[in-house]
Amino acid sequence: MTKPVIGFVGLGLMGGNMVENLQNRGFDLVVMDLDRDAVDRVLARAAVSARELAQASDIVMLCLTTSEVVEGLVFGEDGILAGIRPGAVVIDYGTSIPASTRKIGAALAQKGAGMIDAPLGRTPAHARDGHLNIMAAGDRGVFDRVKPALDQQGENVFYLGPLGTGHVTKLINNFMGMTTVCAMSQAFAVAERAGVDTRQLYDIMSAGPSNSPFMAFCKNYAVDGQSDLGFSINNANKDLGYFLRMVEDLGTRVEIAEGTSNNLQAAVDAGLGAGNVPEIFDYFRTLST
């Protein structure tokens, strides 16, 4: 069976590794990124516009930073919507606002195209090996059509329901994860200030029910000085902001998320935004009354 032509936009840390994986598996790709060096690093055709990329592709994959960037790429004068072919499918791998995802999906449907929101779990290393967790949502028939391509990228591909459900799930997942990182990083900062051996603290906490991969990431930085999570404070701050907007749209509040968001924003304001999330430890260790 002939593999679909894939247009891929966004060749950052995650997207670049996803493209490498797809190339290794024999897919024909057309790529686009504002970073010319990132485009030159991959062995694929380069498109000069989103419209051109969409015209050449059976599946358009997006791995971008914000909903605003995605909307601009889709609805722009020379954007995806202007070039998308009937029967093509757009897959958004980023972490986006669910309401924005549904708006884009409705516009694509009017052109006879489909959309799947498929945010990702795990790390860039998993992306390179095709071992991501993929939280996919959208029309079931559209999902079934693109699932063979998703299976090349994900060890676990979850179908979650109607369009937007993937992004809802991802935002909830990131709220939990980033709140955990903030709590554990601050625990290490308090222990350091109190004169408690932080390595011994980790040994004690990890022997109980608090143990988790996130605890290990926090310990790796706070205790060992190794920053290896591969997810920036800037991105976490953006995702918590999206989570709070989604919660507000649902007519409720999540006060714990508000606290996490405040911590992340404070770390960004302190100039730490480009660092990996466990580096928020450096913000907590300098706090004073």
Catalytic machinery residues: 170
Q: What is the DSSP string of 162-200?
A: STTHHHHHHHHHHHHHHHHHHHHHHHHHHHHHHT--HHH
CA distance 14 to 8: 12
Q: Which amino acid belongs to residue 210? A: S
What does the alpha-carbon distance between residue 167 and residue 94 come to, in Å, rounded to a whole number? 8
Outline where the chain has alpha helix (H). 13-24, 36-40, 50-55, 67-75, 80-83, 98-110, 124-129, 140-151, 165-194, 198-206, 213-222, 233-249, 255-269, 281-284
Q: Is the four-CA dihedral 101, 3, 160, 19 of positive or negative sign?
A: negative
The rounded distance, in Å, linking the Cα atoms of 163 and 66 is 17
- DSSP 8-state assignment for residue 119: -
At residue 176's C-alpha, the angle toward residues 172 and 182, to 5°, is: 140
Return the C-alpha torsion angle 31, 35, 36, 38, nearest 10: -60
Across the beta sheet with 132-136, the strand order is 120-121, 132-136, 154-159
